[in-house]
Amino acid sequence: MTEEGPITMELALSELRRGFDVRLANLEGQLALLFQRNELSERQLDAQTRQIGELEDRVGAIQREQVTRGHLDSRFRHTVALLSLIAASASVAVALLAAVLSR
């Protein structure tokens, strides 16, 4: 072999190593980016899952406490009955007072 042969071989090997190192660094960077994106997606999924749970709880509470048309009608009837009773009591009291004063 000539003296140029080993030098050429060493240059070729160093170029091959450099190319391998560059590609390996590129792959490591891509893997790190994928790992970071995966962690971000997991955090977003956890946050959305928590929000969905909170919304489901709120909807459940609203459904338990909702006022239906039947409830409003029932309250209205009770209110009218109570006001009627108060008006009747007041008219009896006024009639008694008028009877007492007219004597």
pLDDT tens-digit map of 25-37:
999 999 999 999 9
Q: For 54-97, what is each residue's pLDDT tens digit?
A: 999 999 998 888 878 888 889 999 999 999 999 999 999 999 99
Q: What is the pLDDT of residue 3?
A: 62
Q: For 42-52, what is each residue's pLDDT tens digit?
A: 999 999 999 99
Q: What is the pLDDT of residue 79?
A: 96
pTM: 0.51
Name the token pair of 24: 């390996």
> Measured between alpha carbons, how far is 62 from 85 in angstroms, rounded to an integer?
34
Q: What is the pLDDT of residue 2?
A: 53
